């Protein structure tokens, strides 16, 4: 929708600053998608918390078996990657496509660290014979984190596509909706983890 508006008025921001401050960065369609994703995660979080009410001892016991140091590394990796994406957006707004590309590659590197650390955690769990049927806690832990893991992969694919286009000079200071769209999705992935980390690994 914003692209349609931009097509009608490419200089929307300069002509009507009031309007440019009313819509979120990127394509409006990605925001509908983001809100839908956030709604699903909210249901997941609520289900975890209310199921825990009837299984407090079990949740508290098996939560201690999780690797909080790995979760710390992953949280720092996602926060850092989100910051790098912010810098990528700032770079393209100043017409520095090469810097934009480099920040996006750095962000993907951080995303890669997240995936490697998380796969290490899963590998450890699977070696111990842990799966969705082990108990209610692990059912939620694996479902929630794997669902989020898939979103990280999806986010990295989007960032890669945006980075390639940025490298080819496909974005400018005037037209960088694609960069902001990819950035918004990636921040959503970070946002969800910021709730998931304390809920599953820390709160007891």
Partner 1 sequence: MSNKPFLGMLPSTWVFGILVVLTFVTFFLGEKGIGGLEVALFVLGIAMIKGHLVGAYFMGLGKLRGLWRWPVSVWLIIPGSLIATAFILSY
Binding residues for partner 1, rule: CB under 8 A, are 18, 21-25, 31, 35, 38-39, 41-42, 45-46, 49-50, 52-53, 56, 60, 64, 68, 71-72, 75-76, 79-80, 82-83, 85-87, 90, 180, 184, 187-188, 190-191, 194-195, 197-199, 201-204
Contact 55, 146 (CB under 8 A): no
Query: Could you tell me the smallest distance in angstroms from the CB atom of residue 148 to partner 1?
Result: 14
Return the structure tokens found at 153: 């992969």
Query: Could you tell me the smallest distance in angstroms from the CB atom of residue 204 to partner 1?
Result: 5
> How many CB atoms within 10 Å of residue 64?
9
Contacts 24+ apart (CB under 8 A), 50-55: 51/136, 51/140, 55/136, 55/137
Q: Which is nearer to partner 1, 31 or 137 (CB)?
A: 31
Q: Which is nearer to partner 1, 69 or 127 (CB)?
A: 69
d(CA 35, CA 60): 31
Query: Could you tell me the smallest distance in angstroms from the CB atom of residue 97 to partner 1?
Result: 20
Pinpoint the alpha helices (H) of the chain: 2-8, 12-15, 17-20, 28-53, 56-63, 68-93, 97-127, 136-167, 177-197
Query: Could you tell me the smallest distance in angstroms from the CB atom of residue 153 to partner 1?
Result: 20
Q: Which is nearer to partner 1, 53 or 131 (CB)?
A: 53
Q: Which is nearer to partner 1, 90 or 172 (CB)?
A: 90
């Amino acid at each position: 929708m914003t692209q349609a508006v931009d097509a009608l008025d490419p200089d929307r921001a300069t002509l009507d600053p009031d309007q440019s401050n009313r819509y979120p960065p990127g394509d409006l369609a990605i925001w509908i998608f983001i809100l839908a994703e956030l709604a699903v995660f909210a249901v997941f979080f609520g289900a975890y918390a209310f199921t825990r009410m009837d299984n407090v001892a079990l949740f508290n016991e098996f939560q201690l078996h999780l690797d909080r140091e790995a979760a710390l590394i992953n949280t720092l990796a996602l926060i850092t990657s989100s910051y790098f994406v912010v810098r990528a957006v700032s770079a393209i707004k100043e017409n520095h496509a090469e810097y934009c590309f480099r920040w996006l590659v750095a962000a993907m590197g951080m995303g890669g660290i997240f995936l490697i650390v998380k796969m290490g955690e899963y590998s450890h769990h699977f070696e111990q014979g842990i799966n969705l049927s082990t108990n209610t806690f692990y059912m939620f832990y694996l479902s929630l984190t794997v669902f989020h893991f898939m979103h990280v992969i999806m986010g990295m694919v989007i960032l890669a596509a945006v980075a390639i286009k940025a490298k080819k000079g496909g974005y400018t200071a005037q037209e960088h909706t694609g960069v902001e769209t990819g950035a918004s999705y990636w921040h959503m992935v970070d946002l969800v983890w910021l709730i998931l980390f304390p809920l599953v690994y820390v709160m007891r």
